[in-house]
C-alpha cells in the first residue's frame, strides 16, 4: 500500500485515550451535528454522556433533546433531519427495537440520520453483552448498516457514514454498529482529526428540494394507498443499489484527505493471498480470528480471514469475487435466525446467497458463537478453522451449523 | 510480550478511581512508545455499592494494537495477570461479583512470579492470614493507604490514584516507568508537585515491601466455585427456580440463595452486644439483605456470609454500643455470633469489645485523611444501659 500525500498538513489535532462511545461522540462533534436526541440504554448510554459533556464544555453547538422513549427519540431526529438539520441518535438491544416504527419510516422517508447501535443481546433474559440481532433488525428496511472493530474506525465511520447517507444519490439512514462492551467500553488511543480535515471530507448536509421549510412547501409522508407504494419501494431499491458506488467514492475521498487508511471499502482481507480456507465475521470477533489465522499460518496452514464491514448494502459482487478463490468458507454469526434455512445465522444466509450464482462454489459452513457477550477466544477461532477445513470434504447437512462456546 | 494489570475496586465508590488508574497506565505506556489499551469487566455492571469489580490495562512493547486486542480484548475476564491491584484491603477475603461466580481468591489471576499489590495499613503477615495459597510462588507488595473514595468528586482526593501508578512502576518498569509517571503527572498538574511526589514515594515503598510468597503459603480456600448449568439443564423460557421458602428459629433458620451470597461486598461488619439488646426487632426489619435470623430467645443472629456491611442495622439500633460496625479484617470466619454468646455470654462480650476497640473507625470519606480508629463508650457486661446514642 503506497501512502498518498494528504491534501492538508495537519489532519489530526491530537491523540487521546477514548472508548468506542467517546470516539463516536468526538466524530459527532467534528461533523458539527445540529440535533441529538437521547434516551438511555446501555451500552449506547456512554455516547449520550460524552455528548452532553462536549456540549456543556462549549465544544459543540447542538440541540440536545432527552426523549421519553426510543420511539420519540428516533422520531425527533427523523423530523430534525427533514428540516435539513444533521441529526444523531443511537440505542442498543430492545431499546432499538422499541423504536422500530420510527426506524422504518426514517428509511422510507429517506432521511439520512446517523444512529449508533451499541450491539446488545435482545431480552429475555436481560443481558448486556453483544449480539448482532438488534442492528440486523433493520437489514431489510432500506438502511445503511456497517460494523466497526476499533474506536478509531468508529470515529472515522461516523464521518464516512454521514457522507454516504447524505449523498443525494443515497439519502438513507445509517446504522453504525459496534460490539457492546467489547468496543463501546474499551479504551484505545485514538487520533482525533482536525475540523479543517473533516470539512474537507464531509460537505454540509443539503436536502435541496427535499427540505421541509415554509420557503419550500412540500409534504413528507402523506397517507397513500395502493397506487403509490410500489413505486416508492422501487426508489428505495434503487437508492440502496446506488449506495455501493457512493461508498466506494467516499473511501477514496477519505483516503485522499487522511492518507491511505482503508485499502478496500466493504471488507478487509487478512492473509488471504494463497489461502484455501477462510473465516468471515463481523465486529470484534475479527481480532481473535486474525490472531488464530496468524498462528495457523506459522504452522503452514493456508488460512485467511475476511472482516466484513458493510452489511447493507451487502457487497455482493466484491465478496463473491473474493470468496470464489477459496475452497472453504466458515461464516461466523454472532446472531441467530431460528428456524431459518438450515437453522443457521443471518450472515451465513447472506454469504451463501451471494455465492449461489458461482459454478464452483466454495464449501460453506456456519458457526454460531459469542451470543450475549460470551467470549470468543483465539482457541475457539482455531476450532472454527478446523471445522471449515473439514467442510471441504464433509458437507453433510448435520454438520452445517456448529455452536461454539455454549455449555454442552 | 504482554503485560496485564488487573485493578480490583469496590463497585460505585471506586469506579472512577479504578478506571482512571487503568486509563493512565495506558496513556503513560503509550507516551513511552508502548502499545496499550484498557477496559473494564462489563459484567460487573450494574455495579452495586461496594461489590468487588475489576478494571484492566494491557501493555506490550512489540505487538501491534490488533494483536494485543486479539489476545486481551473482547473478553469477559482475564486468565492471568502480572499485577493485581487491590484498592481495598478487605477484598483479600475473597471476591464474589455476581451470582453463580463463587467467592474467588483475590490472587486467583496472579500468575507465577506475578504480584498482588495491596493498598493497606496492615502488615503482610496479617494479609496472608486471608489470602489463598497457590501451587507456585508469587509476590505480595503493599503500600500504605486506606480504602479511597478519591475518585468521587465530593470526597477528598487522597492521591491513591497517583500512588498506585507509582507502585505499578515500582513493581514492573516494563509496564510503566516511574520517570514517565512523574513526567506525566507533572505535565498534567504543573502546580501540584505533590502528585508526582506521592507516586515516587509509593514506588520506593513497594520496592522495599515486596516479598516472595512461597508455594503453599497462605490459607486453604474453602469456597467452592459453582458449576454453571449446561444448555439442556435450564428450564425453558428464561425461567429459573426460586429459592425454596423455609423458616425456623435459630441461626441460619431462613432459606437463602446459595449461588449469590454477596458477603464479599462488605468492608465492615456489625458486632452485636446481645446483653444490651432490647429485642426491638429494628435490625431484623431494616436489614435490606435479610441477614438477621430470629432465635428462640428473641435475639437476632447474623448470617455474615450474606451481610454486605451496609451499616443499616447499626444505624437503626436505638441502643448505644449494641450494634457497632467493625473493620472486616478483624474477623477470620463467618460463624454465628449468637451461638458464641449462648455458649459463654461473658467471654463473648469480652471478645466483642476487643474487636470494637481494635476495629471501629470513622470512614475516610468523612475526614479525607484516612481511616481514623476511634473508641466508644465501654459498657460493662450485664443489664446496665449505656448512655444516649449519638
Which of A189, A285, A286, A382 to mutate against chain B (most B CBs within 10 Å)? A189
Kindly determine whether residue B40 and residue A189, on different chains, have CB atoms separated by under 8 Å: no
Q: Which residues pair with A307 in a beta bridge?
A: A268, A281
* B303 and B206 fall within a common domain: no
Q: For residue B59, what is the nearest residue in chain A, using CA coordinates?
A: A188
For the stretch A145-157, pLDDT in tens is 999 999 999 999 9
Q: Which residues of chain B have pLDDT under 50?
A: none
Within-domain flag for B254: no
Interface A-B: count of C-beta contacts within 8 A = 86
Residues 6+ apart with CB under 8 A from A326: A272, A275, A276, A277, A278, A304, A362
Contacts of B74 in chain A (CB under 8 A): 179, 182-183, 186, 284-285, 287-288, 375-376
For residue B75, the chain A residues in CB contact (below 8 A) are: 182, 375, 377
Torsion sign over Cα A338, A342, A346, A347: positive
Alpha-carbon gap, residue B239 to B254, rounded angstroms: 23
Tell me what pLDDT residue B373 has: 82
Chain B contacts in chain A segment 243-302 (CB below 8 A): 284-285, 287-291, 294
Interface of A with B in 13-72 (CB under 8 A): 17, 42-43
What does the alpha-carbon distance between residue A148 and residue A158 come to, in Å, rounded to a whole number?
Answer: 10
Eight-state DSSP code of residue A121: P
Structural domain for B178, as ranges: 3-213
Contact A290, B70 (CB under 8 A): yes
Domain boundary assignment for chain A? 12-258, 267-404
Which residue among A124, A182, A407 sits closest to B74, beta carbon to beta carbon? A182
- Which pLDDT value is given to residue B364? 57
CATH of A12-258, picked from 3.40.50.970, 3.40.50.300, 3.40.228.10, 3.30.465.10, is 3.40.50.970
Phi, psi of A248 (to 5 degrees): -60, -45
Query: H helices of B47-129, where?
Result: 65-72, 124-128
Q: Which residues of A93-108 are buried (b: 16+ CB within 10 A; e: fewer)?
A: bbbbbbbeebbbbbbb
pLDDT of residue A1: 45
The predicted-structure confidence for A250-289, as pLDDT tens digits, reads as follows 999 999 999 999 999 999 999 999 999 999 999 999 999 9
pLDDT of residue B390: 59
Nearest CA in chain A to B55: A186
Q: CATH number of the domain at A267-404, please?
A: 3.40.50.920
Domains A12-258 and A267-404 share a fold: yes
Contact yes or no for A22/A30 (Cβ under 8 A): no
> Looking at the structure, do residues B162 and B73 belong to the same domain, yes or no?
yes
pLDDT value of position B66 = 83
* Shortest Cα–Cα distance, B42 to chain A (Å): 6
Q: Is residue B383 part of a domain?
A: no
Quick one: pLDDT at residue A225? Answer: 83
Question: pLDDT by residue for chain A (408 residues), tens digit each?
Answer: 445 555 677 899 999 999 999 999 999 999 999 999 999 999 999 999 999 999 999 999 999 999 999 999 999 999 999 999 999 999 999 999 999 999 999 999 999 999 999 999 999 998 999 999 999 999 999 999 999 999 999 999 999 999 999 999 999 999 999 999 999 999 999 999 999 999 999 999 999 999 999 999 999 998 888 889 999 999 999 999 999 999 999 999 999 999 999 999 999 999 999 999 999 999 999 999 999 999 999 999 999 999 999 999 999 999 999 999 999 999 999 999 999 999 999 999 999 999 999 999 999 999 999 999 999 999 999 999 999 999 988 766 667 999 999 999
Q: In CATH, what number is assigned to the domain containing residue B63?
A: 3.40.920.10
CB-CB neighbours of B291 under 10 Å? 25
Closest CA of chain B from A294, distance in Å:
10
Residue among B107, B119, B49, B118 at smallest CA distance from B268: B49
Domain count across chain B: 2
pLDDT for B388: 65
Nearest to B238 among A125, A188, A375 (CB): A125
Domain-embedded: residue B230: no
- Crossing angle between the packed helical segments B160-171 and B15-31, to the nearest 10 degrees: 50
Task: Determine contact: A399 vs chain B, CB below 8 A.
Answer: no
Q: Are residues B182 and B314 in the same domain?
A: no
pLDDT score, position A56: 97
For position A395, what pLDDT does the model report? 63
pLDDT reported for residue B385: 61
User: Hey, how many other C-beta atoms are within 10 angstroms of the C-beta on A42?
Assistant: 20
Cross-chain residue pair B231–A406, CB shorter than 8 Å = yes
Measure B240 CA to nearest chain A CA, in Å. Answer: 10
Are B181 and B272 contained in the same domain? no
Do B147 and B27 lie in one domain? The reply is yes
B292, β-bridge pairs: B302
ipTM: 0.92
State the pLDDT at residue B153: 67
Spatial strand order in the sheet of A277-282: A267-270, A303-308, A277-282, A328-333, A363-369, A401-404
Amino acid at each position: 500500500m503506497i501512502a498518498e500525500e494528504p491534501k492538508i498538513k495537519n489532519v489530526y489535532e491530537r491523540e487521546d485515550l477514548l472508548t468506542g462511545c467517546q470516539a463516536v461522540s468526538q466524530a459527532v462533534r467534528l461533523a458539527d451535528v445540529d440535533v441529538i436526541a437521547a434516551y438511555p440504554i446501555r451500552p449506547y448510554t456512554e455516547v449520550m454522556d460524552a455528548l452532553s459533556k462536549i456540549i456543556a464544555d462549549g465544544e459543540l453547538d447542538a440541540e440536545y433533546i432527552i426523549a421519553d422513549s426510543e420511539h420519540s427519540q428516533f422520531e425527533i431526529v427523523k423530523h430534525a433531519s427533514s428540516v435539513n438539520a444533521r441529526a444523531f441518535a443511537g440505542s442498543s438491544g430492545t431499546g432499538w427495537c422499541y423504536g422500530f416504527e420510527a426506524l422504518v419510516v426514517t428509511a422510507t422517508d429517506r432521511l439520512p440520520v446517523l444512529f449508533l447501535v451499541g450491539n446488545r443481546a435482545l431480552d429475555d433474559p436481560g443481558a448486556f453483552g453483544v449480539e448482532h440481532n438488534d442492528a440486523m433488525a433493520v437489514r431489510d428496511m432500506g438502511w445503511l448498516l456497517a460494523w466497526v472493530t476499533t474506536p478509531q474506525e468508529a470515529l472515522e465511520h461516523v464521518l464516512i457514514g454521514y457522507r454516504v447517507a447524505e449523498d443525494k444519490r443515497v439519502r438513507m439512514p445509517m446504522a453504525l454498529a459496534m460490539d457492546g462492551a467489547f468496543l463501546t467500553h474499551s479504551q484505545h488511543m485514538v487520533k482525533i482529526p482536525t475540523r479543517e480535515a473533516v470539512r474537507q471530507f464531509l460537505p454540509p448536509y443539503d436536502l435541496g428540494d427535499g427540505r421541509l421549510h415554509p420557503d419550500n412547501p412540500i409534504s413528507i409522508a402523506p397517507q397513500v394507498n395502493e397506487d403509490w407504494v410500489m413505486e416508492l419501494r422501487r426508489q428505495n431499491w434503487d437508492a440502496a443499489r446506488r449506495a455501493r458506488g457512493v461508498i466506494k467514492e467516499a473511501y477514496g475521498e477519505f483516503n485522499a484527505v487522511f492518507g491511505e487508511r482503508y485499502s478496500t471499502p466493504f471488507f478487509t482481507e487478512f492473509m488471504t493471498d494463497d489461502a484455501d480456507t477462510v473465516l468471515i465475521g463481523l465486529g470484534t470477533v475479527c481480532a481473535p480470528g486474525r490472531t488464530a489465522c496468524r498462528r495457523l499460518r506459522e504452522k503452514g496452514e493456508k488460512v485467511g480471514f475476511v472482516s466484513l464491514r458493510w452489511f447493507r448494502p451487502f457487497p455482493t459482487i466484491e465478496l463473491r469475487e473474493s470468496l470464489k478463490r477459496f475452497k472453504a468458507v466458515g461464516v461466523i454469526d454472532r446472531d441467530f435466525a431460528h428456524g431459518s434455512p438450515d437453522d443457521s445465522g443471518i450472515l451465513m444466509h447472506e454469504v451463501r446467497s451471494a455465492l449461489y450464482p458461482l459454478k464452483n462454489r466454495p464449501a460453506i459452513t456456519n458457526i454460531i458463537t459469542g451470543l450475549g457477550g460470551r467470549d470468543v477466544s483465539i482457541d475457539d477461532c482455531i476450532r472454527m478453522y478446523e471445522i471449515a477445513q473439514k467442510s471441504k470434504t464433509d458437507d453433510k447437512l448435520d454438520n452445517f451449523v456448529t455452536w461454539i462456546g455454549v455449555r454442552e | 510480550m504482554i503485560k496485564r494489570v488487573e485493578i480490583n475496586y469496590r463497585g460505585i465508590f471506586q469506579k472512577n478511581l479504578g478506571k482512571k488508574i487503568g486509563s493512565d497506565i495506558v496513556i503513560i505506556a503509550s507516551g513511552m512508545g508502548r502499545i496499550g489499551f484498557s477496559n473494564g469487566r462489563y459484567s460487573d455492571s450494574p455495579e452495586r455499592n461496594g461489590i468487588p469489580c475489576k478494571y484492566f490495562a494491557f501493555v506490550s512493547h512489540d505487538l501491534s494494537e490488533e494483536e494485543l486486542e486479539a489476545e486481551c480484548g473482547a473478553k469477559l475476564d482475564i486468565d492471568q495477570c502480572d499485577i493485581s491491584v487491590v484498592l481495598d484491603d478487605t477484598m483479600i477475603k475473597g471476591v464474589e461479583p455476581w451470582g453463580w461466580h463463587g467467592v474467588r481468591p483475590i490472587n486467583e489471576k496472579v500468575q507465577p512470579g506475578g504480584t498482588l499489590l495491596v493498598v493497606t495499613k496492615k502488615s503482610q503477615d496479617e494479609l496472608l492470614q486471608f489470602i489463598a495459597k497457590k501451587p507456585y510462588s508469587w509476590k505480595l507488595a503493599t503500600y500504605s493507604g486506606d480504602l479511597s473514595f478519591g475518585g468521587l468528586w465530593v470526597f477528598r482526593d487522597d492521591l491513591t490514584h497517583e500512588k498506585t501508578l507509582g507502585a505499578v512502576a515500582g513493581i514492573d518498569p516494563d509496564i510503566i516507568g516511574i520517570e514517565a509517571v512523574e513526567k506525566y503527572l507533572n505535565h498534567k498538574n504543573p502546580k501540584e508537585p505533590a502528585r508526582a511526589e506521592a507516586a515516587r514515594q509509593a514506588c520506593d515503598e513497594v520496592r522495599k515491601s515486596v516479598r516472595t510468597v512461597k508455594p503453599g503459603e497462605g490459607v486453604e480456600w474453602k469456597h467452592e466455585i459453582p458449576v454453571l448449568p449446561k444448555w439442556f439443564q435450564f428450564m425453558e423460557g428464561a425461567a429459573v427456580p426460586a429459592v425454596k421458602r423455609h423458616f425456623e428459629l435459630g441461626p441460619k433458620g431462613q432459606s437463602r440463595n446459595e449461588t449469590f451470597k454477596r458477603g464479599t461486598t462488605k468492608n465492615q461488619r456489625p458486632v452485636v452486644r446481645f446483653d444490651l439488646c432490647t429485642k426491638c426487632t429494628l435490625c431484623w426489619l431494616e436489614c435490606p439483605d435479610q441477614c438477621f435470623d430470629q432465635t428462640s430467645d428473641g435475639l437476632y443472629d447474623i448470617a455474615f456470609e450474606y451481610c454486605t456491611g451496609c451499616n443499616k442495622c447499626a444505624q437503626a439500633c436505638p441502643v448505644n454500643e449494641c450494634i457497632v460496625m467493625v473493620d472486616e479484617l478483624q474477623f477470620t470466619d463467618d460463624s454465628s455470633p449468637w451461638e458464641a454468646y449462648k455458649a459463654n455470654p461473658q467471654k463473648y462480650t469480652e471478645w466483642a469489645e476487643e474487636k470494637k476497640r481494635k476495629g471501629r473507625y470513622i470512614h475516610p470519606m468523612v475526614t479525607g485523611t484516612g481511616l481514623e480508629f476511634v473508641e466508644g463508650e465501654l459498657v460493662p457486661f450485664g443489664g446496665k444501659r449505656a448512655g444516649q446514642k449519638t
